[in-house]
Amino acid sequence: MNGTYKNITIQIKDSIAVLSFNRPDQLNAMNREMMDEIIAGIEEINTNDKAMVAVITGAGRAFMAGADIKEYGSQTPEQFKAFQDRGIQLYETIEHAPKPWIAAVNGFALGGGFEIALSCDMILASEVAKMGLPEVFLSLVPGGGGTQRLIQRIGINRTKEMLFTGGQYSASALFDWGIVNHVYKDEEFDTEVLRFAGKLTRRPSGAIQQLKRLAHLSLSPIPFSQKIEEEGQAVTELFYSKEAKKAIQDFIDKS
């Protein structure tokens, strides 16, 4: 993989790409340089045919503790706008990726770190993980889609609670709320994440890509009838693909 990164690492093995934030001494807090590297790393993985599934995680005891406040607070207006614009690009590069992205939350995921997790297709969490949007303590609001993506997952009442209190929530609580897909014991976390990701590598990539697109389409404001039409077009397209023909015939032969 590309060896020029300073603040992240990327590894690909068994069709699983793992992008790790790598500023453990700073709890992986994100500065401008790191944000640029994350975007480049995501794009590198998205275009790499060897990676069928992507995992994003953090080195040390944090997933990501949000923005690097020292740098964030000293930005000029031009730098602040550029940082916000690049942040939007970061989250959308994950959200609109053709392959599934899994957030493996190994520790603190706060502010922008939690927003990155929310932009992923699924969140797997260690039992020691803590997540939240603490921007209110700085007289700010989340600036990376946190208010909008969170409400899509858990509804307005609990979203308001998380935003208004700015609290840190346990992995088990967020599992109960439907934000986290699975919670694993800390000592088994890395193994379980790779085991889960490995399941997805054994699913046809064409079907996964369409399923991700259709799931996001369900949240769009277009008419329901158009969503159903899109679904029908997708199943028709896949039905005539070589992969589906083979899978269907294999199923028939085994019956």
Nearest to 21 by CA among 55, 51, 59: 59
Closest CA to 121 of 196, 177, 184: 196
Instruction: Write down the catalytic residue from 33, 37, 43, 115.
Output: 115
Residues 65 and 111 sit within 8 Å (Cβ to Cβ): yes
What tokens appear for 181 in the block?
Answer: 């897909």
Task: Tell which residue, 9, 29, 12, has the closest CA to residue 20.
Answer: 9
Active site includes 115?
yes
Annotated catalytic residue within 43, 135, 187, 229: 135
Which tokens in the block code for residue 108? 């603190």
Q: What's the CATH code, domain 8-201?
A: 3.90.226.10
Where do the domains of the chain lie? 8-201, 205-254
Cβ–Cβ < 8 Å for 38, 8:
yes
Q: What is the DSSP letter of 13?
A: E
How much is the pLDDT for 255? 80
DSSP-derived 3-state class of residue 28: coil
**CB-count exposure of residue 153 (10 Å: 0-12, 13-18, 19+):** middle
Residues, the chain, total? 255
For residue 73 the two structure tokens come to 């607070």
Instruction: Look at residues 1, 154, 83, 50 and name the one whose alpha carbon lies nearest to residue 133.
Output: 154
pLDDT number for residue 3: 58
Per-residue pLDDT of the chain (255 residues; tens, 9 = 90+): 445 899 999 999 999 999 999 999 999 999 999 999 999 999 999 999 999 999 999 999 999 999 899 898 899 999 999 999 999 999 999 999 999 999 999 999 999 999 999 999 999 999 999 999 999 999 999 999 999 999 999 999 999 999 999 999 999 999 999 999 999 999 999 999 999 999 999 999 999 999 999 999 999 999 999 999 999 999 999 999 999 999 999 899 988
Residue 135 annotated among the catalytic residues of the structure: yes
